[in-house]
Each structure stands twice: as structure tokens, then as C-alpha cells.
Amino acid sequence: MKSKIYNKESDEHQLLLDPKHKSSQQDESHQRHESRLEWAESSWIRLWYIISWRWINPLLSLGYKTTLTEEDLDDLPSQDKCSVLYDMIRNSKRDYDKIFNTCRDVFWKRYLLVALLRLPILIAVIAQPLFLYKLVLYITDHQSAQVSPSAPVYSGYLYATGLFSCALLQALFYHQYYFYSARLDLMIRNSVLSTIFAHLLSINTTTLRQVGTNYAMSIVTNDVTKFEEFSKHTLYIIEAPLLSGMTFILLYWINGVWSTVSGFLIFTLLIPLQVILGRKFNEHRKNVVVRTDRRIHVCEELIRGIHVIKMYNWEEHMKKRVGETREPEMASIRHAFVLRAINMGLFLASIPITGFATYVGAWLDGRHLTTIQIFISLAFFSQMRFPVMYSLPVAIEKLVVIRQAWKRIAKFLQLNPKEEQKLLDTDDTQSKGTITLHDASFSWDGHNCCLSLLNIRIEPGSFVGVVGPVGSGKSSLFSAILGEMIQLDGQMNVSNSSFSYAAQSPWIFADTLRANIIFTKPFDERHYRAVLHACCLDIDLTILGPKADLTMIGENGVNLSGGQKARVCLARALYADSDIYLLDDPLSAVDRTVAKRIYDRCIGPKGLLKNKTRLLITHHREYLTQCHQIIVLNQGQMQIQTPRIDLNEQDKKDEEDQQISAAMLDIGQFTASSQSIIVKETSNAQQIRSSLWCTLFTAPPLKTLGLCLTLILLLFGQVLHDGTNLWLALTTRHLRYTKSTQSIHLPTYFVLTMATLFVAIGRSSFFFYQILNGSNRLHDKMLSGLLHTSMRFFESNPSGRILNRMSKDQQVVDETLPEVLFDAVQSLLLPIGFICIILIINLWMIPLVIFLVILFWICFQYYIRTSQQLKRMESMARSPIYGLFTSSVKGLATIRAFKVENDLIKSIASLIDDNTRPFLYLSGTTRWFTCRMDLLATCFVLFPAFAAVIAPNRVDATFLTLTLFYSINITARLQHAIRQSADAYNYMTSVERIDEYGDLPPEEDNGGESGRLIETSTDWPSRGEIRFHNYSLRYQSNEEATLKSLNLVINSAEKVGIIGRAGKSSVFQGLLRLVNRSCIDGEILIDDVDIGRVTLKHLRSRISVIPQNPLLFSGTLRFNMDPLELYTDEQCWKVLEIVRLKETVSNHPQGLHMPIAESGHNLSSGQCQLVCVSRALLRQSRILLIDEATANVDHETDEFLQTLIVDEIKDRTVLTIAHRLNTVANNDRLLLLNDGKVVDFDVPDKVLSHL
């Protein structure tokens, strides 16, 4: 049975590849309701379900009554599923790198459907002012007629009905247009995202290293999301000129040539100004993208290297490093929003400016426009304002941004794929399992040769050992065979063989232990048990608790030891039935006896792989005695090929008689718990807290004053805007009743118009200034919260989840929320102002407004509960997508070696569907709500229009014109205001998610139970004596203690090796206080000072650590050795000489400033480890903690480092965790732990005799 990647039960941590859960997944799929949307679209007789949005009613009802779960959502329509979209892209005749043309060919029919939905809206927009004009003329005619009006009575009803029908038509079609355009954008986004992922799995490793993995993540987190607003904006580029032309013709018919030309002249001059602003915005947008990429890259490194950051007390330095990337990013964002503020100000003031220009044009022509002509002109310009003044510039900006995204995506899709055809050239004369290299040379960058003139033929079923010093090219040889390197010359033939690969740095993904082993293969229990036994993992299962091999493993195997991770990856390689097995030093991280047992059961002549071709990189030369060939590499050259040396007779004793005990295995610290280490991300079902809104607008430096000024400016701008129109109406009405031949007072009109413009620009600028201060405050708070929270948080939360908040959520708060929120506030103030003017003129409408407000509030409460839950579900469903991208990049070589790319593509399609489902139904619920609000808003057109027709002699024509002018604007603006308000409210979930990380509980640093910190001497610890007194440690308060009542003394300058089972790493965790104080009993004293009574900063800065997994940050070698720049270059050169890296560094043109790639990819694992050793030596702490630091180095370097510990750091106290007993055999004493208790603490000979 084929397993499915990512089970939904695990929510965001996504179980990978566990076949036991497939049946439950299928059950869930059957339980999920079929798509009601697809059902409604399947027949024309159900058209009413589409128009009225009845298909979304069941979800809204359920969301209002209870908390929604992912299973409550309907299944996606088949045409919206990512697998279908990906197949459409893949089956197109165009290449991936022409992704824009491909999407155009695939989606043009859907785009045409969206365009047709826009046509009735355009007709209604043009017709509505005409009906208004004819209705007012009808009323005026009735009022001025002495005997009988010239127009029949029924014409008035026709005009009123037409006016109302236009509003109704817009309400119905507008939201259908937006929903289907959003749906099309979602299809484009998903098809592009899946295509990017598929290409990522095929990119040449060399190319990916050159561009950096952060480049790929930036494409996913930033560029792909730009397509979520593609369709709805692009149509305005066609609609805006068409609407302008038709409006010009109608105004020319109503007002004459000069007033129309002058009004249009000003209006059209504003358009190129908007275009210029758009171009400037584009320039800043480019800077924002580049600088955001840099920040996300640093944040990604922060998440990956948090354990090193904490152990070395680099929190403040990393905060500064992120801040250095944040400052230019925020500067570019602020510059972009200055332009956006001008744009928004011009949008608001465009109608007063255009109205003034129209009146002045008529005045210069010697005519005076009537009230009807003025406000009919304003009505036409108001209908043009949104498409032309807002949507057209925004569409241009969006298209520029999308064009940049297309280019970046196309550039990514043009990256060189893995050269399979060249590397996997077949030869019918060779059997599978054969490897032939003839004068083959390989390179990582295409220029510098790393492996040269390799010549060897490996026969099927042979056992080949690969040895050589650190940095000699052993791992590169495996990469070359797998096709991950660039072949410069020669020939290579692997006979179309299948591969199993156990990498030197084990790749573990967040899932069960079983899923990590079977890795998409069908589950064969008998074979599976044999593999567990061969890798000694059957012993681990007895300790894992009731879930056994279904125990959850954290991302990167955080709850596994180094030895366990190596054995799991070896088991994965063995479980796959392959022709060739490439094993990159899998035995270095385990005890020597365990390594021998694994070798005999797996690799040796009697092992599971005895009939398979297997290549083993090892530093244990005793395993080379049974090889058919030995490859000795030195500086990229194959120096020796030794024929088989069969020494089977040497082993007289049956190794299987020797019992492997749990003490010989290195058991991880969390595996005994039955509780999953990955915590479930919960969705807050409550409404957004008011305090979050205050946080955005009360940030320093202005704090509360900034919020007050923002409110004052917003209200003042609206009063000016509506006051100008009211003044204009009252003035023209007065001139009409007095039958004056004078014009209105133009200087007053000009001052009011200019004041409206400047206040509009000023208030938008200040709004953006204040909210960006709040955004930056939230970012800094989140960063500080992450840096100072405990390691437990990072172990129980996948990196994709954390990165989602630091990238996508932060982008929403930085760029999307400010624009949408201001647009919502400005758009909401407009109809509120309109309603206030209408009520001042028509007091009889007050009960109607009260009734409509009550209905609005009821609908809003009914809608918002479901809407917020869907938005949170969508945000959470994004994280697994990022997590799979990140995890796949880390394990790319393993994924390709096992040829599971198609399984991973199915996985990403499933995850994208999980994200699309709440996204699509969120859009549907929003349209349901805004459609009903628009239908309510049509009452403002219906009642005044028909009231005027029924009693034409009881209304004032001027006030009726102003009322109806505002009424049709209420309908147009309210739909936009409600949509933007709903979007802004939903975007506040990103603020909520960021703020949640800002409030993470920090590590305890207040002096423990005593609550008092003490100050130590400046040279503390001067001796390095460590004393454990009744010390117990657990990782969670509800778990069993991992360390139990430790009482021991480690003398000054003593070298102590720590061996045994369960608790070795916990000793280091306790010394560095990486565990919450509430989970600790007893105390640790260093030089008679309780470490719980000193600050974490002081403690960790006095202890040096060499971790088991060497981690380097991108930058320079100098930076990785001394990021705080506390030491001189001479000191750095000295420690490099000590660790034998001086020659390598000296040969580089940049010396100490030689660049280090992401995760140190341009160095071998052994060289990375030596850099970490040099970092610890440079620090010169009195206490040094070593966690199996020699696992990735050759035997000679291992012996050298042991000698180094004796000679160079003989005056320091050294604690060494040992998975291989030979590394601590020369220590002063050995500490043997078993189940967290001290079994023995004595000289090595006595302790080892007890094993």
C-alpha cells in the first residue's frame, strides 16, 4: 500500500509518509462534504444558488454556532485542485521557463469569463448618472410646470426604477466578478507554486548553492503571493479608458464643450501623475523585495542555528544582525508608502478638484452651471474615480510588481536542472549495480575541479571502502555518482541503477519513526523488522513507550541523538530495495561495539546488503579488511585502488553472541515520552483584541498622541470633503432662489478644494507613518520573543511555521495591512459622511438608517465569526507549505537518490489544497456578506428616488440632486469599504500571530526560587570546578526526569568523558540552563557559585561548546569564528594553525574573510567541525563542552584533536559526550549514565570494565 505524504491529523506538523494513517485519511476524505460550489455550478437551474451565495450558507451557519475544523470545509471543486492545475501546466506545450505564456494559454477562457462578468457592471456604472439626471429633470419639470408637466408620470417611475436597477445590478454582479477573479488568481498561484516546487526538486545542486536556498524561499513567500490579485486589477486597464471616453461624450451632451474639457483635462492630468508615482513606487518596490529577501535569509539562519546562538550567548548579536537587514527594508517600505499616501490623497481630492475645474471652465465660457449640472458632472466623475483614479494606478502598480514576480519566477525556472541524461548514460553490456568512471572530473561550480581523473570500475555486488583525510572529496564522490555535481570531463556509467543514500548529515523530517524509515515505500512488516534489527533500532523501540515506531520525531530529529539519526537514515537506505547503496560514514556517531554489530548485520559479507553494490565512507579502517576495493582520496584525486583483502578468518568469535545493551546506544532525550514533541498550532476562535489595534497606532515615538492625531486628521479631512460639496449645494441653491446672475465665490471654492487636497495627502502620510511604526514595533517584539524564549519552543514548532510568521505574516503587516486598512477607513468615512449629509437634508430617513444599521450589525456578527476562523485556518495551512519547501531543500540529495520526487509533488499539491480550501471559502463568505450589505445600501437609492416621484412638489431639486448623488455613491463606495474593512479585519490575524510570538515566555533569568541574582568576580570561573548537588532534570513538568539526583564533583582542569544511555546531552542542557527552571531540582555549582543565581548571559559567555552538528552561518570565516569581534586577526590565525586549517585558509585569496556559504556548504563536514573547534578554542573559556566533535573527521584528525585536548587546553575543564568510547579512553575519568542515573564515575579502565 502506497503511503500518502502528510496526514491531516497532525495539523501543521504534517505527518509524512506513515502508511498506517492512510486509511484514516481516506475516511476523512469520505466524511468531507462534496463541494457545494461545484454542485451549484453544475446546472443552470441552480443559478440562484450562485447569485444569492446560498451555497455558502451551511458553512456560515456552522461557523457561527461552533468552532470550525478543517474537516468542516467542503471539498474543493475538481477544477480548483492543485493536482489538476499542475497537470494542466505540465501538459502544456510550452517550457516551464515561459511560465507567463503557459498560464495565459491555460487560463484564458476563465479570464474571458471574468471579463464578461464585468460588462454588466460597466453598463450600470454609465447608466446610473443618466437615470439620475433624467429623474431630476423630471422633478424640476413638474415643479416648474404651471399647468401640466411635459413628461408623463410613468416616466418618473421608469427613471427611479432604472436608477435602483443599476444599483441592484452592481450589487449582484460586482461580487460575482470579485469572487471569480479571486478564484482565477488562486488557480494561477497554485499552478505556479506547484511548478516551482517540481522544478526545485530537479535543480542542479551546484546551481542551488550559488543562488542560495533563501532565494527559492523568497520566491515562494513573496513573489507567488502577488498572483492573488492579478485578474481583478488587469481588467481596469481596459475598463478605465473605455469608461472615460463614454463619460466624456455624455458630459459634453449635458454641459457643453468647455466645462467638459476643463474637467476632463484636470482629471486626465491626474492619471499620468499617478503613473509617475507608480513608477517611483516600482523602484522602491524592487528595493523592498531585495531587502526582504536578505532579512528572511537571516531569519531562516537564526531559526536553524538557534541552539548555537543560545549556547554562545549571541542573542543580542543576532538581533542586531536582523536589525541591520530590517532598517533598509523599512526605509524602502516607508518611501513606497509616501508615494502611496500621495496617491490616496489625490484619490479623495480628485472629485473636488475636478468639480472646481468643471465650474471654472463654464465660467470662462461665460456660463454658470446649475446645481443639477454641477452634481451630475460630479456623479459622472465619481463613477469614474474608482476605476480611473484608484484602480487604474493600482492596476499599473500591481502589474509592475507582478511583472517583476514573473521575471524572478521565470529566472528561477531557468536554473539548470540536474544533468540526468549525461550522468546516467546506459550501456546494455553492463549489469545494474555497476559503476564505471573513466578519466572523469567533477566540479561544484563548473570551473574549479574538485574531483579529477577518476578511473574505477565497480562490479555488481561488490563492497567498496572510501577513505581519505578531511576535505579530500569523499562525500563529493558520492554526490558525483548521484549526479549532483557538474561533470567536466571523462565518462561515467551507472547502468540505470537505483540508489539508496545515507548522507553524512542525516536528514530527518517531522513525522513518525516508521515514516522516516519506509519513506514512501510499501510497508513490508517482515522486511521492516529485519531492517530495524540490523540497525539495532529494535532496542530503541523498547524504550520509546507505547507508540513505539509511531512516536513523533521532531524536525531535523531534535528529539533523537546523533547516533539515532544516523541509524534511522541507514535504516531508510536499507529498507529501499536498490541496486547501489552509498553510505556516507553512518557508523561514526555510534559506539564502536554497536558500529561493529551494524556493520556485520547490514554491510559486511553476512549482512542484509551482502549481494548488493555498496560503497562505504568510513574512518574505521577495521571495516576495510573485507572490502573488494578501497578508494583512497586525497585532494580530489583517486590515488589508490586496493584489491580485496579477505581477512574473514581473523574474527573467530561470533559477534552475535555479544549482547548489545541499551547503554551502548545513544538514546535521545525526548523519545521516551508518549506525547508528540510537535505541538499543534491552535486557532483562536475569538475576535481580534482591541489592544492589538492600539498596538499598531500607539507605537513610539508619538505613542497615544499619534493615535489621537490620526483620528483628528481623518475626521477633519472628511469634514472638508463633504463640507465643500454642502457649501457648493447651498450656494448654488441660494443663487437659484434669488435668481442672481452672479457665480459662486471662486476664491472660497478654490481654498476649500486645495485644503481638501493637502489635508487628504497629510492624513494618509501620517496614517502610514504611524502604522509602520507599529509594524516595526511588532517585528522587534517578535524577534526579541523568539531569541529569548526557551529551546523547547523551537523543538516543538517546525521551522516552516516560525518562518511563516517572520515572512508572510510580517509582509502582510508591513505592506498589505496599512494600505488595505487606510483604504477601508477612507472608503468607510465617505459613505458615513454621505449618510450624514443625507440625514441633515432628509430627517425622515433617520428610522430607515437606524433599521439598516441594526441589520448590518446582525449580518456582520453572523459573518465575522466564520470569516476570522477561515482566515486563521488559511494562515496556519500556509506553514506546512513553507515547511515542506524548507525540508525538501535540506534533503534534496536524499529525495533524488530515492527518486521520490513525484511523491513530494503529490504532497505539495495536497498541502496547497489544504491552504486553498479555507482561502476559497473565505472569499465566498466575504462576498456573501458584502453582497447583502450592498443590497441594503440600495435602499438609499430606492426610497429617495420613489419618494421624489410620488411627491415631486414636496422636494427641493437641489437637495434631491445632492441626496441622489450621495445615494449612488453610497452604493458604490460602501461595497468597496465593506470589502476592504473585512479584508483588513482578516489581515489583523497576522498582527495577532506576530504578537503571539512577541509574548512568548522568556527563559527564566531571575535568580531561581530565591529571586536574587548574584554578581561574580570578573574572572569567574577561575578554576572550572563543577559540582552537581541532588540535581534532577526533566524537559516537561509532566514527564519523568531525564537526570535523576546527580551528585558528583568534576575537578578543575579535569577531562571527563560522559557515556551511557539517556542523559548525556541533558548534562550539557543543565550546565547551559537550556531547560526551564521549573523542571529542575537541585543545583549545579561552578566554582562554588550556583549557576541558577547568575544571569544566562553571564553563564553562557563563560562556557565554550563544540556541538555535534557543526553549524556555520553565511558570511565570512572571520565572522563564524568571532561574530562579536572580540579577538584579533593574529589570535584567529593562531587557532586556525592549531586545528590545521591555516594552510587551507591561507591559500584562499581572501584569507580570514573567505566567504562561507549557507550552512557551510562550500566546506566539507570535517572542515566545518574544525571551524567550530577553532571557535571554541578562540574563546578561551575555563569550561569546554564537547558533544562528539570528532564524528565527521578522519582517524588521524581524531587522534590529533584528542592530543589537542591534552596539550593545548590542559588547563581547562573539559566534558566530552562520547558515542564512541575510544574518543574518551584517555580522559581522566568517565561518567557512566544509565536511565539518567550515575552508574559509575571513575578512571576509564574501571568504568569500561563494567560495560
Q: Could you give the CA distance from residue 790 to residue 1009 in angstroms, rounded to a whole number?
A: 18
Q: Which domains does the chain have, with CATH numbers?
A: 75-416+684-997 (1.20.1560.10), 1008-1249 (3.40.50.300)
Each residue's pLDDT tens digit, 119-136: 999 999 889 989 988 888
Q: Which helix (H) or strand (E) holds 1230?
A: strand 1229-1234
pLDDT at 684: 59
pLDDT at 15: 41
- 668 pLDDT more than 60: no
Those residues whose C-beta lies under 8 Å from the C-beta of residue 987, and which sit 6 or more positions away, are 812, 813, 816, 817, 820, 821, 871
Each residue's pLDDT tens digit, 972-995: 787 788 878 888 988 898 999 999
- Cell 468639480 locates to 355
Q: Could you give the CA distance from residue 635 to residue 1144 in angstroms, rounded to a whole number?
A: 11
The proportion of the chain whose per-residue pLDDT surpasses 90, expressed as a percent, equals 28
Q: Could you give the CA distance from residue 522 to residue 3 in angstroms, rounded to a whole number?
A: 7
- Cell 531547560 locates to 1075
The one-character DSSP state at 368 is -
The pair phi, psi for residue 447, each rounded to 5°, is -125, -60
Bridge partners of residue 1031, in order along the sequence: 1046
Q: Could you give the CA distance from residue 1089 to residue 302 in angstroms, rounded to a whole number?
A: 31
- 647 pLDDT more than 60: no
pLDDT at 1011: 63
First to last CA, the chain: 43
Each residue's pLDDT tens digit, 153-185: 788 899 999 999 999 998 899 889 989 998 998
Q: Helix or strand or coil: residue 191? A: helix
Those residues whose C-beta lies under 8 Å from the C-beta of residue 781, and which sit 6 or more positions away, are 994, 995, 998
pLDDT at 358: 87
Q: Which of 26-35, 261-270, 525-534, 1074-1083 is predicted with the least confidence, judged by mean pLDDT?
A: 26-35
- 662 pLDDT more than 60: no
pLDDT range class, residue 671, cuts 50, 70, 90:
very low
Q: Pull the grid cell for residue 194.
A: 506547484
pLDDT range class, residue 91, cuts 50, 70, 90:
confident
pLDDT at 341: 92
Q: Could you give the CA distance from residue 1199 to residue 1195 in angstroms, rounded to a whole number?
A: 6
Query: Checking DSSP bridges between strand 1080-1086 and strand 1237-1242, what pairing results, if any?
Result: unpaired
CA neighbor of 1140 nearest in space, from 1076, 1096, 1086, 1203: 1203
Q: Could you give the CA distance from residue 601 to residue 574 in angstroms, rounded to a whole number?
A: 11
pLDDT range class, residue 1040, cuts 50, 70, 90:
confident
**Taking residues 82-86, what's their average pLDDT?**
91
Residue type, 529: R
The pair phi, psi for residue 312, each rounded to 5°, is -100, 5
Please give the model's pTM, rounded to 2 decimal places: 0.77
Residue type, 854: I
pLDDT at 548: 78
pLDDT range class, residue 429, cuts 50, 70, 90:
low
pLDDT at 22: 39
